[in-house]
């Protein structure tokens, strides 16, 4: 079982729709959870961080965390073509150095 | 503005060459930096954790004698790929961790070994 799992996609949504990206993780001791956006050929860019159960909203983005289910999601409202990218879920390993473990990413395609 | 500066952005060189990649923390004193590698259509894989003033901690399967890491100051870590071969061609990315903050990534270095 992979430590962090994501559906590779592509997830295709029309412009203006809500895109829902999901991620599960195996380490129950994980404390911090992140969503990064990566455009092709570029390095990851932090979109959201979430540390406690529930929802966290930032503009068009909402991160949801359920530690009991070991599940974290990212909702993108009013999706734009510029949101088309690969979204990486990352979880802090339960170690002293705060290593990040990445999922393989979900490719999102927003069509005009 | 950028938090992490990584240089060079792209390297093309012959097999057997050693290549040095620099990662600078611009706004923070970073006691810990991370080096990742990403092959096409794959996710980021942590190679090593770079600790200022001490030896790097390498992940399983990463050859420490091939991927030399030096973290001599609180703002600079370097990764040297020694005697690079075509299979080392990849996208190398560093990140900086600051206390209680998410990791910030450099722009990455695309390494192509001919």
User: pLDDT tens digit string along B62-88?
Assistant: 999 999 999 888 889 999 999 999 999
CB within 8 Å: A45 and B105? yes
Whether B108 contacts chain A with CB within 8 A:
yes
Q: What is the pLDDT of residue A95?
A: 60
Region B84-99: mean pLDDT is 91
Q: What is the pLDDT of residue B111?
A: 97
Region B5-17: mean pLDDT is 96
Q: How confident is the model at residue B3 (pLDDT cuts 50, 70, 90)?
A: confident
Q: How confident is the model at residue B14 (pLDDT cuts 50, 70, 90)?
A: very high
Half-sphere exposure of B33 (CA within 13 A, CB side): 34
B101 or A87, greater pLDDT: A87
Residues 19-38 of B with CB under 8 A from A: 32, 34
Please list every residue in chain B whose beta carbon sits closer than 8 Å to the beta carbon of residue A102.
Answer: 43-45
Determine the Cα angle at A72 with ends A39 and A57, to 5°: 75
Residues in chain B: 114
What's the CA gap between A35 and A37, in Å, rounded? 7
Residue of A nearest to B34 (CA): A99
Please list every residue in chain B whose beta carbon sits closer than 8 Å to the beta carbon of residue A43.
Answer: 6, 93, 105-108
Token pair, residue A47, equals: 């979109």
What's chain B's average pLDDT?
A: 91
Answer yes or no: are the C-beta atoms of B71 and B77 closer than 8 Å.
Answer: yes
CB within 8 Å: B57 and A97? yes
Answer yes or no: are the C-beta atoms of A25 and A5 closer than 8 Å.
Answer: yes
Residue of B46, B102, B108 with shortest CB distance to A99: B46
Q: What is the pLDDT of residue A99?
A: 81
Nearest to B24 by CA among B64, B69, B73, B58: B73
How far apart, in Å, are the Cα atoms of A21 and each of A9, A97, A100, A104, B42? 10, 27, 19, 13, 18
CB within 8 Å: A88 and B43? yes
Please list every residue in chain A whose beta carbon sits closer than 8 Å to the beta carbon of residue B55.
Answer: none
Across chain A, which has 112 residues, the per-10-residue mean pLDDT values are 86 97 93 93 92 95 96 98 96 73 94 94
Please list every residue in chain B whose beta carbon sits closer than 8 Å to the beta carbon of residue A49.
Answer: 102
pLDDT at B1 over 60: no
What's the CA gap between A89 and A76, in Å, rounded? 14
Nearest to B58 by CA among B81, B42, B27, B35: B35
């Amino acid at each position: 079982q992979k430590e962090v799992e994501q559906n590779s996609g592509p997830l295709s949504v029309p412009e203006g729709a809500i895109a829902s990206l999901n991620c599960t993780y195996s380490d129950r001791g994980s404390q911090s959870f992140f969503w990064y956006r990566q455009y092709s050929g570029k390095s990851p860019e932090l979109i959201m961080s979430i540390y406690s159960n529930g929802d966290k909203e930032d503009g068009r983005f909402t991160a949801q965390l359920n530690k009991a289910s070991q599940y974290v999601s990212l909702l993108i409202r009013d999706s734009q073509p510029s949101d088309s990218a690969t979204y990486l879920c990352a979880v802090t390993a339960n170690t002293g150095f705060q290593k990040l473990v990445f999922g393989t990413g979900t490719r999102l395609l927003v069509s005009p | 503005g950028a938090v992490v500066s990584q240089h060079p952005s792209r390297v093309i060189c012959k097999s057997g060459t050693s290549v040095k990649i620099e990662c600078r923390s611009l706004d923070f004193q970073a006691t810990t930096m991370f080096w990742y590698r990403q092959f096409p259509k794959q996710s980021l894989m942590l190679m090593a954790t770079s600790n200022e003033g001490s030896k790097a901690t390498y992940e399983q399967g990463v050859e420490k004698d091939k991927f030399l890491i030096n973290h001599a100051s609180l703002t600079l870590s370097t990764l040297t790929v020694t005697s690079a071969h075509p299979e080392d061609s990849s996208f190398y990315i560093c990140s900086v961790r600051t206390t209680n903050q998410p990791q910030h990534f450099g722009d990455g270095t695309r390494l192509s070994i001919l």
